[in-house]
Amino acid sequence: MAATCKGLNFTCNGRHSAACRPYLFPPHSPPVGVQHTQLRPNFFSSTCPNLHSIIENAVWTAVKNDLRLSASMICLFFHDCFVNGCDASVLLVDTATFQGEQTDIIELIKSTVEESCNGIVSCADILALATRDGVVLSGGPSWTVMLGRRDATTANKITATEDLPFSRFNLSLLITNFAKKGLNLRELVALSGAHTVGFATCRAFRNRIYNDTNIDTNFANSDKAICPPFPPEGDGNLSPLDVNTWTVFDNEYYKNLVSLRGLLHSDQELFNNGDADPIVQSYLGSISPLTGSSGEIRRVCSRVN
């Protein structure tokens, strides 16, 4: 079942759609997608000096009108970075071999940036900055975004399908999946904390609420009212990943896990008498991009030049 971040909801359609929660990393460890020597925070200081304010203003306006947009951008950013590195391939329009995950806010920001800095800033960098600003507007922390990415000219549906973790993964499979990207258990738990905002579809959590035993009964019953037991009835119905504060970027996600109120099976696996338990309790209190001459700077984020 393919993952998607399409539309304005952060919807987990059968995939574990985590994203970066940077303040949980140790100080020396940068967020996803910035571990590359050619990237630097002041990459556009002379070529597009107003870039940060342009993106910040656009994100602020959009999120003010629809709080779900922050979660949508987090989802897009994770999907983009986890597969091939942060190259904006996830934004490309659907083709016979690839299903893209467009969102209007990124295209809107791109068109605004192009008015001031034509052909200079990649869609990959715009997505990275917009995601950071969306997290901040949701009450989360800020972090330094390294810049200088290029946009991919191709995308592969098979690679995307194989790389992203499923919401039914157990802890062992999650650890293996993240280890392939050079991410350890602590980083897995930290990245999963992005599920503090957004929603999941019924098809992604149906099996958990009807079959898992490590789940709070009242929590399960509440979601059963949203998600009927037999597909396809209610497949697209939504439930918040963080039942208490789904619009706020906080640590309620981890509190929910300890209370056996994780919505996805893969989320609750992080607190299920395993090696991740102490990391979750502690949270209660970069994948290589395209740089240099590789790729391109797209004029429109959903299409190659």
Handedness of CA 46, 49, 55, 56 (dihedral sign): positive
Only one residue has tokens 């607190």, namely 271
From 119, 146, 163, the end of a domain falls on 163
Q: Is 83 marked within a binding site? A: yes
Q: Is 133 marked within a binding site? A: no
In the residue annotation, 16 being an active-site residue is answered as no
Judge whether residue 246 has pLDDT over 70: yes
39 and 148 inside one domain: yes
42 and 129 inside one domain: yes
CA distance 188 to 184: 6
pLDDT bucket at 304, cuts 50 / 70 / 90: confident
Residue 39 CB burial class (10 angstroms; 0-12, 13-18, ≥19): buried
Q: Is 235 marked within a binding site? A: no
154 and 278 inside one domain: no
Asked if 35 and 286 count as a contact pair (C-beta separation under 8 A), the reply is yes
In a domain, 5, yes or no: no
**Nearest Cα residue to 90 out of 174, 149, 21, 176:** 149
| CATH code for the domain of 190 | 1.10.420.10
For 162-180, what is each residue's pLDDT tens digit? 788 889 999 999 999 999 9
143 and 182 inside one domain: no
Q: Is 114 marked within a binding site? A: no
From the list 16, 36, 79, 265, the catalytic residue is: 79
CA distance 207 to 89: 31
78 and 206 inside one domain: no
In whole angstroms, how far apart are CA 271 and each of 176, 210, 222, 257, 268? 17, 19, 21, 6, 5
Q: Is 131 marked within a binding site? A: no
Mean pLDDT score, 125-134: 95
Q: Is 112 marked within a binding site? A: no
196 and 102 inside one domain: no
Judge whether residue 64 has pLDDT over 80: yes
**Nearest Cα residue to 83 out of 191, 180, 196, 184:** 180
Side-chain-facing half-sphere of 167: CA atoms under 13 Å: 27
* pLDDT the model gives residue 302: 85
In a domain, 143, yes or no: yes
In a domain, 256, yes or no: yes
In whole angstroms, how far apart are CA 17 and each of 94, 110, 169, 200? 20, 24, 12, 9
Q: What are phi and psi of 12, to 5 degrees?
A: -100, 95
78 and 176 inside one domain: no
Judge whether residue 13 has pLDDT over 50: no
For 173-204, what is each residue's pLDDT tens digit? 999 999 998 899 999 999 999 899 989 999 99
From 163, 194, 215, the end of a domain falls on 163
| CATH code for the domain of 37 | 1.10.520.10
In a domain, 16, yes or no: no
177 and 143 inside one domain: no
Q: Is 85 marked within a binding site? A: yes
Name, in order, each residue with C-beta under 8 angstroms of 57's C-beta and a sequence gap of 6 or more: none
Total count of domains within the chain:
2
Asked if 113 and 190 count as a contact pair (C-beta separation under 8 A), the reply is no
pLDDT bucket at 26, cuts 50 / 70 / 90: very low
CA distance 110 to 58: 10
214 and 104 inside one domain: no
Q: Is 101 marked within a binding site? A: yes
Residue type, 18: A
Containing structural domain, residue 136: 27-163
